Chains A and B, each alone.
Chain A
Amino acid sequence: MNDTAVNRQNPALCVDGVCKRFRTTKALDEVSFIVPEASLTVVLGSAGAGKTTMLRLIAGLDKPDAGRIELAGSNVAGWEPKDRNVAMIFDNLALYPDKTGFGNIASPLVIRGESREVVEERVGEMARTLQITHIMQRLPKTMSGGERQRVALGRALIRTPSLFLLDEPLSSLDAKLRIDLRAELRRMQRDHGYTFLLATPDFHEAMAIADTIVMLREGRVVQIDTPQTMYDQPADREVAEFIGAPRINLVAASHEPATASLCFARARVDFPAHLGRLSEALPTQFELGIRPEHLRLADPDSAPVRAELVDVESLGPRSVLTVRNEAAELRLLVDSLDTVSLSLNSPVGVELAHAHRLLAFDPATGRRIGHGL
């Protein structure tokens, strides 16, 4: 058996049935997931979902009430944080105020007694990656918030622990830098074979960089999947709404078996085959999920959905249209060039572009009908 095979059997991190309670609130409830070595796993959830609590338990800063945490195959219950060989990067960053950017990033290497040449080469490389070569000789108090964040990232990434825990590492950066840096993080992770567990409330970020997303809601794992699968086959209505912008359309719909039609928003179309295959699980009345890019404009006289245009929001090359009729309000993602001839409060026609991507949700529980089948 070679090394890789051993590593596959022992993931870098295994979380099994972990619970954590703070007085009366359940912060984490039976959370289980694994992080394979040299992968990037994202814990995704809104504020209060339990992301930071999870990371703190793994780092050893808090103790779980129940369940097991294994790092590289060893149960780490009772281990001190320093013995766990993990590096945790928070969004609130504490730098040494009396050290320069260089001194801050170099400190973990200096403590380990690396030679001056090694320190200079590795810190220099890190500074170039994070685009902070110009602040290497400056003290933290003269840096902007974003610059301090990048120095903190550099200091954490210069180490080589078996697992990096990153808690919203990019949250205080402005939009453009965040997008550049997340690509850099991903590239570093892949090039060096690092193992990352990153927590974020931003689904764009999660989609862009994750191998696997662990979706956390109110302390529970709701779904574990690759980004595209989570987008295409969300476990429930809330995941569907959380992932994707503009937000998915959710409208009341019904199945008319006699005519094999799907009725929604005063439209009647052929019943999509993939929903038809759910026949027994699918009630006659359900909630239909339509991604905005799966709708398109059509001739108002013949389109299945006729509605009034109530809002146009430009996103640059594409625009989001909001249309409304007596039965529903729908958002469409269209090419901005197609919106030039439209005027607000005028009638528009809408048709389905990718009927095989429609989703059906149980109106009572919110679960996607057919999930896990």
Chain B
Amino acid sequence: MNKPKLELVSLCKEYDNGSVIAVEDIDLRVEAGETVALLGSSGCGKSTTLNMIVGLESPTSGDIQIDGKSVVSVPPGRRNVGLVFQDYAVFTSMTVRKNLAFGLEVRGKYVLEINRAVEEVAELLGMSDKLEARARDLGGSELQRVAIGRTLVTKPSILLLDEPLSNLETSARLAMRRELRRLQSEIGLTIIYVTHDQVEALSLADRIAVMNAGRILQVEKASTICAMPGHTFVAGFLGSPPMNLIRGKFEARGGEVFFRRGDFSLALGAGATVPEGYFTLGMRAESIRLASGADARFTGRVSLLEPRGSEAVLTVDVGRETLKVVVPPHARLAVGEVVGLAVDRESLHFFDGDNNRATSLELAGRIF
């Protein structure tokens, strides 16, 4: 079996003699040519993880392997990984060519070799005609390209990107995202990408590792993670709006099974037995729809209406629960209005009440 490009094994990072745990027991395998996003809010440990891979910080315990070899004791400059920060760190007084050549010059490479490498990278980034331009005359997305190019000329075996797009304006960001996807497919680089922005992670990564409080909660393909969240945190983090989560219990009443929390109650079909204890019900905002009359499974009052142009997001108070519902853009609704809602049983998710992990249940004669 091939060795993974990068493997993190039980990686931990503590500060202040263990009173602060920044990264706790992380395991991650990244295959060659893969792009993996570390996604989480600020303070979740994603940047610390990246810094340990680069070698800017050393782990408290655990191992980091590149091509099957431990690099924990290898100094940063020898690990052959390239890091691009959100602040471009481009020398603005130098030309693009100088900037791109910098990393090779300090490594004492031959001029001919440097020129060839610089021109190759410039070609790849579509900047061949900008090589003699001064960096200070470039726009944000061009600067970011130079920053990435500076790293690429050194032919790193892994490219690490720390929120590389967060300083760019929206349109430049869209262009850069497309650019990065093209680079990935053209040169098959292995990329680890740190971001707090789920759209960036979803649009760029093959797989996403969702982090919270120093731990990786789920690693899943970007194409399926929204549909199959494995943990309540992931369900509540991904999606815009994220999945509606209600913690409650199952109940069998009069031959029918319900999921209930306070005055919120959802009928799940005929049945007599239910599992004990707490569970969390997950409903995607896109799976709930407006319904009237007998079709409505529950009713609620609209407390917020947020148009998005192509759709609108309703916040509906159902008893003491607050649900987000995605509706068509021209649904004529007002705040304060009472609406009926329906949800398909096939679209429901359940999570264990103790460990918050996704769980599959046999209830009312079907598998949820």
- Give Cα distance in the complex from A175 to B196, angstroms: 7
Contact B309 A228 (CB under 8 A): yes
Query: Which residues of chain A have C-beta atoms less than 8 A from B222's C-beta?
Result: 314
Among A46, A190, A314, the residue within 8 A (CB) of B203 is A314
Contact B286 A317 (CB under 8 A): yes
- Give Cα distance in the complex from A244 to B181, angstroms: 22
- Give Cα distance in the complex from A228 to B305, angstroms: 11
List residues of A (294-353) whose CB comes within 8 Å of B's CBs. 311, 313-317, 322, 333, 336, 340
A144 within 8 Å of B (CB atoms): yes
Among B197, B226, B307, B330, the residue within 8 A (CB) of A207 is B307
Closest to B237 in A: A176
B52 within 8 Å of A (CB atoms): no
Q: Within the complex, what minimum Cβ distance (angstroms) separates A215 from chain B?
A: 14
B10 within 8 Å of A (CB atoms): no
- Which of A27-35, A179-187, A274-282 faces chain B? A179-187
List residues of A (197-232) whose CB comes within 8 Å of B's CBs. 204, 207-209, 227-228, 231-232
Contact B329 A174 (CB under 8 A): no
Contact B237 A187 (CB under 8 A): no
Among A46, A183, A246, A316, the residue within 8 A (CB) of B238 is A316
Closest to B42 in A: A174
Contact B310 A317 (CB under 8 A): no
A177 within 8 Å of B (CB atoms): yes
Among A183, A293, A311, A317, the residue within 8 A (CB) of B181 is A311
Given contacts A176-B237, A177-B41, contact A204 B203 (CB under 8 A): no
A49 within 8 Å of B (CB atoms): no
Query: Which residues of chain A have C-beta atoms less than 8 A from B203's C-beta?
Result: 313-315
B178 within 8 Å of A (CB atoms): yes
Closest to A291 in B: B310
Contact A313 B178 (CB under 8 A): yes
Q: Within the complex, what minimum Cβ distance (angstroms) separates B307 from chain A?
A: 5
Closest to A320 in B: B203
Query: Which residues of chain B have C-beta atoms less than 8 A from A244's C-beta?
Result: 309-310
Query: Which residues of chain A have C-beta atoms less than 8 A from B181's C-beta?
Result: 311, 313
Q: Within the complex, what minimum Cβ distance (angstroms) separates A171 from chain B?
A: 12
Query: Which residues of chain A have C-beta atoms less than 8 A from B304's C-beta?
Result: 183, 186-187
Query: Which residues of chain B have C-beta atoms less than 8 A from A177's C-beta?
Result: 41
- Give Cα distance in the complex from A314 to B178, angstroms: 11
Given contacts A175-B197, A314-B223, contact A208 B42 (CB under 8 A): no
Contact A183 B307 (CB under 8 A): no
Q: Within the complex, what minimum Cβ distance (angstroms) separates A318 from chain B?
A: 9
Query: Which residues of chain A have C-beta atoms less than 8 A from B226's C-beta?
Result: 316-317
Query: Which residues of chain B have C-beta atoms less than 8 A from A183's C-beta?
Result: 304, 306, 315
- The interface size of chain A toward B, counting residues with CB under 8 Å, comes to 39
Closest to A146 in B: B42
B195-223 interface bits toward A, Cβ cutoff 8 Å, 1 = contact, 0 = none:
01111001100000000000000000011
Query: Which residues of chain A have C-beta atoms less than 8 A from B171's C-beta?
Result: 247
Query: Which residues of chain B have C-beta atoms less than 8 A from A293's C-beta?
Result: 310
Query: Which residues of chain B have C-beta atoms less than 8 A from A336's C-beta?
Result: 223
Contact A208 B308 (CB under 8 A): yes
Q: Within the complex, what minimum Cβ distance (angstroms) separates A142 from chain B?
A: 13
A66 within 8 Å of B (CB atoms): no
Query: Which residues of chain A have C-beta atoms less than 8 A from B286's C-beta?
Result: 317
Closest to B326 in A: A317
Closest to B178 in A: A311
Query: Which residues of chain A have C-beta atoms less than 8 A from B199's C-beta?
Result: 175, 315-316
B128 within 8 Å of A (CB atoms): no
Query: Which residues of chain B have C-beta atoms less than 8 A from A190's C-beta?
Result: 335
Among B169, B178, B198, the residue within 8 A (CB) of A316 is B198
List residues of B (164-187) whose CB comes within 8 Å of A's CBs. 169-171, 174, 177-178, 181
- Give Cα distance in the complex from A313 to B174, angstroms: 10
Among A176, A243, A245, A317, the residue within 8 A (CB) of B41 is A176
Among B237, B309, B315, the residue within 8 A (CB) of A231 is B309
Contact B306 A208 (CB under 8 A): yes
Most buried by A among B174, B222, B238: B174
B303 within 8 Å of A (CB atoms): yes
Q: Within the complex, what minimum Cβ distance (angstroms) separates B186 from chain A?
A: 12
Contact A207 B41 (CB under 8 A): no
List residues of A (99-139) whose CB comes within 8 Å of B's CBs. none
Query: Which residues of chain B have C-beta atoms less than 8 A from A245's C-beta?
Result: 170, 174
Among B43, B170, B174, B307, the residue within 8 A (CB) of A208 is B307
Query: Which residues of chain B have C-beta atoms less than 8 A from A243's C-beta?
Result: 309
- Give Cα distance in the complex from A86 to B286, angstroms: 40
Q: Within the complex, what minimum Cβ distance (angstroms) separates A14 from chain B?
A: 25
Q: Within the complex, what minimum Cβ distance (angstroms) separates A245 from chain B?
A: 7
Query: Which residues of chain A have C-beta atoms less than 8 A from B329's C-beta?
Result: 228, 231-232
Q: Within the complex, what minimum Cβ distance (angstroms) separates A321 from chain B?
A: 12
- Give Cα distance in the complex from A273 to B80, angstroms: 62
B359 within 8 Å of A (CB atoms): no
Most buried by B among A174, A190, A292, A316: A316
B340 within 8 Å of A (CB atoms): no
B240 within 8 Å of A (CB atoms): yes
B239 within 8 Å of A (CB atoms): yes
- Give Cα distance in the complex from A108 to B202, angstroms: 43
Closest to A182 in B: B306
Q: Within the complex, what minimum Cβ distance (angstroms) separates B92 from chain A?
A: 19
Q: Within the complex, what minimum Cβ distance (angstroms) separates A237 from chain B?
A: 14
Closest to A336 in B: B223
Most buried by A among B196, B202, B223, B309: B309
| Contacts A176-B41, A247-B171, A317-B226 supplied; 6 other A-B pairs, CB < 8 Å | A47-B169, A207-B306, A208-B313, A209-B306, A228-B330, A317-B239
Pairs across A and B, CB under 8 Å, 21 listed: A146-B42, A174-B197, A175-B196, A176-B41, A176-B196, A179-B240, A183-B315, A186-B304, A187-B303, A190-B335, A207-B306, A208-B306, A208-B307, A209-B306, A227-B309, A228-B330, A291-B310, A293-B310, A315-B202, A316-B198, A317-B239
Residues of B with Cβ closer than 8 Å to A? 41-43, 169-171, 174, 177-178, 181, 196-199, 202-203, 222-223, 226-227, 237-241, 284, 286, 303-304, 306-310, 312-313, 315, 329-330, 335
Q: Which 7 A-B pairs have the closest CB atoms?
A: A231-B309, A208-B306, A293-B310, A316-B226, A174-B196, A313-B203, A227-B307
